[in-house]
Structure 1
Amino acid sequence: MENIMVKGRLLGMGNFAHVHLAYCRPFGGQFAVKSVNSSLSSSLLMEETILRRLRCSPDVVYCFGGYSTQEANGDSAYNLVLEYAAGGSLGRLMFSRTSGSPESEVQWYTRMIVRGLHAVHREGFVHCDLKLSNMLLFPTEDGRWRVKIADFGLSKRFGREEFCRPLTFRGTANYMSPESIVYSENEAPLDIWCLGCMVIEMFTGKPTWRIARTRMT
């Protein structure tokens, strides 16, 4: 696969991974390639394992597989090939509006997120980092956007920790549930809490919680 995928522009980046738009040489088509240094590839390999289990769900981003490459600086990288979301993230769409979204539109997106989340939980996983920026948009024939759940880098099995990075806090601060903060409990109820936060944000166009910035002395 490394010989047929050509990386293009940068789509986004996180603490560990970079995501590039990519093209398939012999067949054409656009893909998103998520890459990390091989020394940090364990989370990406976990993500690939989870997405393979969820391939039958139309509400979860599709994974075509992974491959290793040798980078120009001499480092090796692991790459995950995902379907490309032409519409970007649901977060970008929602927060571009000043007065929130109508109920019918919120219902449209929420229905797909709930179906995707049901598939994740049915397979025995907790996403642990549901947020609007991890909901990706794909065009439909009727001109609307279809949403799919993405970014399973922090996901885990129910009751088990081997699918997570060993962090005390797991997720995004203003989406974390009280029990995940106080007791480090990261189970299915955390995802439901995050879902509620997303619904509020779609209605209002504003973050559910505002995290105060404090200066350490």
Structure 2
Amino acid sequence: MGKYFDMLCEDVRFREGLNACMNCGVCTGVCPAAEFYNYDPRQIVATVQSRDDEAIEALLKSDTIWYCGECMSCRPRCPRGNTPGYVIQALRSLSQKLGFFVESEKGRQQLALKRIIGDNILRTGYCIVPRMVKPELHPEQGTVWKWIFDNDKEVFGRFTPVYMRHGAGALRRLDAGSLDELHRIFEVSGGSEFFDRIERFSDRKAREMGYEEGADQNYMMDVFRYNSNEHD
């Protein structure tokens, strides 16, 4: 009893985010995600405070912890000074650490985030660059974005003369020394280990789901685009 609660307490965000919840429900009342999803921050905090390992493990394996948009609307409104958004962040990190994230539809999409955004940071130094927003992955962007994507050098070259080239300015190509330093930061800070963990647990789940090649591109695209429409 309390194993997962103790693990959560190791996360400074959890210690900062949970003081003494009285279950008033103000956080749920102001939460934008609660308007669109079957999502109740008040209930999440109540579950965590129960220190019930079975209930917390179910939470760590659920879609619920991935609904939060981390807008932190809950933070200034809680009469007890709690921040449910921080609690959610700690739950997500623990879910990723223990490999529970692969047990939910939204959790499995962490692999796509790691490969699309995480790997791009290490490759270019940016979270995202225009060339990464591929029309086939983001059809909601429409035909205008397709044209911008196909003509990115012309379009973004109007805003910065060093678009994806070496030099000084926005969207420049980073030099090798800067990228090497970035890689070292990830190694020292645990970021690389975190990325490896996402890949390892995802690969195991992919094989469990029948993907013979493991967490290959097909698996990533399937989990990235799949929507059960059972989240409201």
Query: Is TM-score (shorter-chain normalized) higher than 0.5?
Result: no
TM-score by length of structure 1 reads 0.27
TM-score by length of structure 2 reads 0.25
Mark the structure with the bigger radius of gyration. 2
Q: Which has the higher helix share?
A: 2
